Amino acid sequence: MPTTPLPLTARALRRAAQARGAFPRAALLMLGLALAGCSGSAILPAPDLPTTPVILDEAAAAAAISRYRASHGLGPVAIDSSLIRAASFQAEANARAGFLSHEVGGTFDARLKRAGFGGRYAAENLSAGSATFDEVLRRWQVSPEHNRNMLMPQVKRVGIARVDAPGSRYKRFWALILSDG
């Protein structure tokens, strides 16, 4: 990062504005953009924490989601191996980063394409910290956006994964991908 001063310093902009009686918004915007350019990436670098994939009972998870959907008049879901791969990839990416992000492993569409997904409808639920599937399911049920994903009428297939990162703040990272395909 350069240590030389910017040609237009904040002090110079303030002096020019004071001479005119006001600090123009455009000058503030230009200064903000110039300073932001010096700060580097807005995305925090991933710490690359050590992780451990956890073997889940995917059939039991699909059955629990199916029961929940049935209580809302919706059809069951089945486990899909390509969605498990996509969920595993995202849970791993979040665990390595030590935080939750739908983008840390790439865009959702790109990740689904890499996993071989070919459906029209898809959604992703992420969570961190829950020790059991029942706990994470309850969290998703009380979250309006996550609940909406689980109750999409088009959903027929799911993939779920959990990856642990013991050195992280949350310890456990979950990903659920739901689709019509």
pLDDT tens-digit profile of 76-131? 999 999 899 999 999 999 999 999 888 888 888 888 888 887 778 999 999 999 99
pLDDT tens-digit profile of 9-56? 333 333 433 444 433 333 333 333 332 333 233 344 446 777 777 888
In a domain, 7, yes or no: no
Three-point CA angle 68, 73, 78, nearest 5°: 55
pTM of the model: 0.72
Structure-token match 């088009």, residue found? 154
pLDDT at 135 (0 to 100): 97
- Picking from 98, 92, 100, 96, the residue whose alpha carbon sits closest to that of residue 140 is 100
Strand partners, 165: 171
Domain that holds residue 111: 52-179
pLDDT at 148 over 90: yes
In a domain, 155, yes or no: yes
In a domain, 133, yes or no: yes
- Domain CATH number, residue 86: 3.40.33.10
- Region 138-155: what's the mean pLDDT? 97
Contact 94, 100 (CB under 8 A): yes
In a domain, 13, yes or no: no
In a domain, 121, yes or no: yes
DSSP state of 53: E
Structure-token match 């990903």, residue found? 175
pLDDT at 136 (0 to 100): 97
Provide the domain count of the chain.
1
Burial 37-76 (b: 16+ CB within 10 A, else e): eeeeeeeeeeeeeebeeeebebeebbeebbebbeeeebee
In a domain, 31, yes or no: no
Q: pLDDT tier at 141 (50, 70, 90 boundaries)?
A: very high
In a domain, 125, yes or no: yes
In a domain, 10, yes or no: no
